[in-house]
Chain A
Amino acid sequence: MFGNFQPASVEYLRFLPEILLSAFGIIIMMLEAVSKGKRTYLGVIALIGIAAAFAANAWAYFNGGPAFQNMILIDGYGAFFRGLVLVVGFLCILAAFSYLEREHAQTGEYYALILFSLVGQCILSTSTDLIMVFIGLEISSIATYILAGFLRDDTRNNESALKYFLLGSFATAFLLYGIAWIYGLTGSTNLEEIRRGLTQGTQPLVLIGLAAALLFVGFAFKVSVAPFQVWTPDVYQGAAAPVTAFLSAGPKAAAFAIFFRVFLTSFRPFSDRWLPLVWGCALATMIIGNFAALLQTNIKRLLGYSSIAHAGYVMIAFTAASQIGTAAAMFYLASYALMNIGAFAIISHIAGRNERHVKLEDLAGLGRREPVISALLAVFVFSLIGVPLTGGFFGKFYVFQAALNSHLVWLTVLGLINSAIAAYYYLKILLAVYMQEPATIAQESLPAPAPSLLVAIWASAIGTLFLGIFPSAVLSFASLSAAPFR
């Protein structure tokens, strides 16, 4: 009777990226225990592990299909997000080398935690079962709670980690309660079977709505969509800059991946009922994010609010609920991840020891002191605004195009107004860099950025420009793999 439960070897290979990441994480932990002196080589091992996982992911894509009793499904969509979070992890480790050195926190646990967090995000990207969704979300979240408080002697880190942990656990409880209701209603945790069970029409609509609402709250918290966004600025401001880069790109992309998959698979038959809610959330998220960002003077906090606003644009693509909407969201998340990591990597360099210089006025005169870094920062800021020739432009373009295709004229207009407002606070950054004179002469000169950090920044910049000049390469893959979510 156990014969057909024996996993085939191809199923293990489809799950190979996660296995590799876990194995490398464990190796790093063991080496950490026995190594003395410099720990930089542990980071190099982590980079090798991520590269191996990326290769395994590519292999899994060409041999796609379900694995382990339909717990996970490797399709183009899953492989895309798995690849995206792996790239994010790679860049964040590269950007963290010199930062950890500077803060005297060069330990293997940092790299191990990033790898384990990536395991959770990879599972999230590919899972088709609510049990796997929950476990993946927990792995990803718990690892990031710890990362947010990694610099233990820094009170800002402690505050960030505590807030993130308490609010995050609360949101996870909502998600778990929703999963329990769904299981009670349909007797299944598999997304396709839930859809089949719900469309039979025997379950009361009120209870389906309750379950969907609980799941919505859980996911909306993880992607910081209004009204569940309050934690974002505090956590982003308090955490160490490379960690913030990771938080704003990796977990968010993976959570959006599963958000789309659950709602556009299981609850698709009821989309008329929940899409107005998503419409409202998208608008509220953009408005809150953009208007609050106008008032900020701390750059990390400003980018925290800006990340809320960007989640709002992705929600517009969600509201479109079409194949091109999903594809637009995939493209948007990819370009957002690259430009945000780049911006945070530059901030981690400018901030200086102990992150003392994170105010807007600390950027004054940077254009003269560090012309190359300033030019790269300008690329990322232009991309965040959505200026042509950058990835951010095509991200917004496709999102609004998808919204218009689904006849969401008002949401498109309001979204465009919002992105015009957003240009104001982004330009404030560039104004400080190029136009303002430093207020005090005592500005210490920054040490030259480490080569690893420069590689991370340059790679993000090239990626951002690549997406802005040749968007069709990524977009055609995205729209091909978004086919199941119509």
Chain B
Amino acid sequence: MDTVLFIIFAVVAIVCAFNLVLQKHPISSALSLIGVMGSLAVLYLLLGAEFIAMAQMIVYGGAVMVLFVFVIMLLNAGSEKASSKSWFAQLAGLPLLCAFVAVLGFFVRAAMPVLRGVRFGTWVGGTAERIGQVLFTQYLLPFEVISILILIAILGAVVLARKEID
């Protein structure tokens, strides 16, 4: 059952990812991205990472995507115009990509000759309770310091978006 679900959602994620790149209109690309995010959330859930799955749905599938779509609509972005690619990219792009993936796969195979399959449902460390405990004990400092990062992001938006320097 788990394996069947994994295959279904893995295929959905990959197809949506391809669709994202191939679509001409930004809205269609954004909608495909929602598909990728959603299927990734299911994959996390299958691995036992409940909290990450929920965060993925709420933060990426929800908030970030709404922002994307909102910005696209606000800017009234039209269809993508195909820019002329360089002859090198047109000719060698796809073969080089395939070669890169093949080399990477070869190295990973060679480096880890005994790849074990993932067993679904054996890992239970992904609950909100466990993550909360680690976050507020061992990773307390990074957790707190990230607030400064968010503050700078807000400050930057204010600085760059204000009307003019007085």
- A421 sits at the interface (CB 8 A): no
For A388, the chain B residues whose CB sits under 8 A away are: none
* Interface residue from A5, A15, A29, A161 paired with B138 (Cβ < 8 Å): A5
**In this complex, which of B108, B142, B158 has the most chain A Cβ atoms within 10 angstroms of its Cβ?**
B142
- What 1/0 flags go to B122-139 for Cβ under 8 Å of A? 000000000000000111
For B137, the chain A residues whose CB sits under 8 A away are: 2, 5, 69
Given contacts A123-B145, A142-B149, contact A7 B158 (CB under 8 A): no
Please state if A152 and B160 are interface contacts (CB–CB under 8 Å): yes
Given contacts A149-B160, A153-B164, A204-B111, contact A68 B148 (CB under 8 A): no
Please state if B141 and A152 are interface contacts (CB–CB under 8 Å): no
- What 1/0 flags go to A11-24 for Cβ under 8 Å of B? 00001001000100
For B107, the chain A residues whose CB sits under 8 A away are: 206-207, 210
Closest residue to B111 on the A side, CB-wise? A204
- B89 sits at the interface (CB 8 A): no
For B160, the chain A residues whose CB sits under 8 A away are: 146, 149, 152, 161
For the complex formed, measure the closest distance between the CB of B63 and the CB atoms of chain A, giving whole angstroms. 19
- A362 sits at the interface (CB 8 A): no
Of residues 24 through 71 on chain A, the ones whose CB sits less than 8 Å from some CB of chain B are 26, 29, 67-69, 71
Q: How far is the CA of A444 from the CA of B153 in the complex (A)?
A: 40
For B140, the chain A residues whose CB sits under 8 A away are: 5, 7, 68-69
Please state if A135 and B146 are interface contacts (CB–CB under 8 Å): yes
Q: How far is the CA of A300 from the CA of B152 in the complex (A)?
A: 27
Please state if A131 and B139 are interface contacts (CB–CB under 8 Å): yes
* Interface residue from B110, B141, B164 paired with A206 (Cβ < 8 Å): B110
* Interface residue from B112, B142, B152, B165 paired with A116 (Cβ < 8 Å): B152
- What 1/0 flags go to A179-214 for Cβ under 8 Å of B? 000000000000000000000000010110010000
Q: How far is the CA of A150 from the CA of B151 in the complex (A)?
A: 17
Please state if B152 and A143 are interface contacts (CB–CB under 8 Å): yes
- What 1/0 flags go to A105-141 for Cβ under 8 Å of B? 1010100110010011001000001011001101100
Q: How far is the CA of A227 from the CA of B87 in the complex (A)?
A: 24
Please state if B156 and A112 are interface contacts (CB–CB under 8 Å): no
Q: How far is the CA of A113 from the CA of B107 in the complex (A)?
A: 44
Please state if A29 and B155 are interface contacts (CB–CB under 8 Å): yes
- A72 sits at the interface (CB 8 A): yes
Please state if B142 and A146 are interface contacts (CB–CB under 8 Å): no
- B8 sits at the interface (CB 8 A): no
For A143, the chain B residues whose CB sits under 8 A away are: 152, 156
Given contacts A135-B146, A152-B162, A206-B107, contact A146 B152 (CB under 8 A): yes
Q: How far is the CA of A112 from the CA of B137 in the complex (A)?
A: 30
* Interface residue from B110, B111, B149, B158 paired with A135 (Cβ < 8 Å): B149
- B80 sits at the interface (CB 8 A): no
Please state if B165 and A71 are interface contacts (CB–CB under 8 Å): no
Q: How far is the CA of A129 from the CA of B160 in the complex (A)?
A: 32
Please state if B155 and A206 are interface contacts (CB–CB under 8 Å): no
Please state if A71 and B142 are interface contacts (CB–CB under 8 Å): yes
For B108, the chain A residues whose CB sits under 8 A away are: 207
**In this complex, which of B149, B162, B166 has the most chain A Cβ atoms within 10 angstroms of its Cβ?**
B149
* Interface residue from A123, A142, A150, A206 paired with B153 (Cβ < 8 Å): A142
Given contacts A107-B165, A109-B159, A149-B160, contact A142 B152 (CB under 8 A): yes
Please state if B165 and A139 are interface contacts (CB–CB under 8 Å): no
Q: How far is the CA of A239 from the CA of B107 in the complex (A)?
A: 43
Of residues 331 through 390 on chain A, the ones whose CB sits less than 8 Å from some CB of chain B are none
Please state if B165 and A153 are interface contacts (CB–CB under 8 Å): yes
For A22, the chain B residues whose CB sits under 8 A away are: 148
For the complex formed, measure the closest distance between the CB of A148 and the CB atoms of chain B, giving whole angstroms. 11
Please state if B165 and A131 are interface contacts (CB–CB under 8 Å): no
Please state if A69 and B155 are interface contacts (CB–CB under 8 Å): no
For B164, the chain A residues whose CB sits under 8 A away are: 152-153
Q: How far is the CA of A153 from the CA of B138 in the complex (A)?
A: 45
Please state if B142 and A132 are interface contacts (CB–CB under 8 Å): yes
Please state if B141 and A15 are interface contacts (CB–CB under 8 Å): yes
For B153, the chain A residues whose CB sits under 8 A away are: 142
For B112, the chain A residues whose CB sits under 8 A away are: 204, 207
For the complex formed, measure the closest distance between the CB of B7 and the CB atoms of chain A, giving whole angstroms. 23
Please state if B141 and A71 are interface contacts (CB–CB under 8 Å): yes
For B159, the chain A residues whose CB sits under 8 A away are: 109, 113, 146, 150, 152
Q: How far is the CA of A407 from the CA of B82 in the complex (A)?
A: 55
- A145 sits at the interface (CB 8 A): yes
Q: How far is the CA of A120 from the CA of B146 in the complex (A)?
A: 10
* Interface residue from B110, B111, B139, B155 paired with A109 (Cβ < 8 Å): B155
Can you list 9 pairs linking A and B with CB atoms under 8 Å apart?
Answer: A5-B137, A69-B138, A109-B158, A131-B139, A138-B149, A142-B149, A146-B159, A150-B159, A152-B160
**A interface with B by C-beta (< 8 Å):** 2, 5, 7, 15, 18, 22, 26, 29, 67-69, 71-72, 103-105, 107, 109, 112-113, 116, 119-120, 123, 129, 131-132, 135-136, 138-139, 142-143, 145-146, 149-153, 161, 204, 206-207, 210
**B interface with A by C-beta (< 8 Å):** 107-108, 110-112, 137-142, 145-146, 148-149, 151-153, 155-156, 158-160, 162, 164-166
**Which 4 pairs of residues, A with B, have the shortest CB-CB distance?**
A204-B111, A5-B137, A68-B141, A146-B156
Given contact pairs A149-B160, A204-B110, enumerate 20 new A-B contacts (beta carbons under 8 Å).
Answer: A5-B138, A18-B145, A68-B140, A68-B141, A69-B139, A69-B141, A71-B139, A103-B165, A105-B165, A109-B158, A109-B159, A132-B141, A132-B145, A139-B145, A139-B148, A142-B153, A143-B152, A146-B155, A151-B165, A152-B165
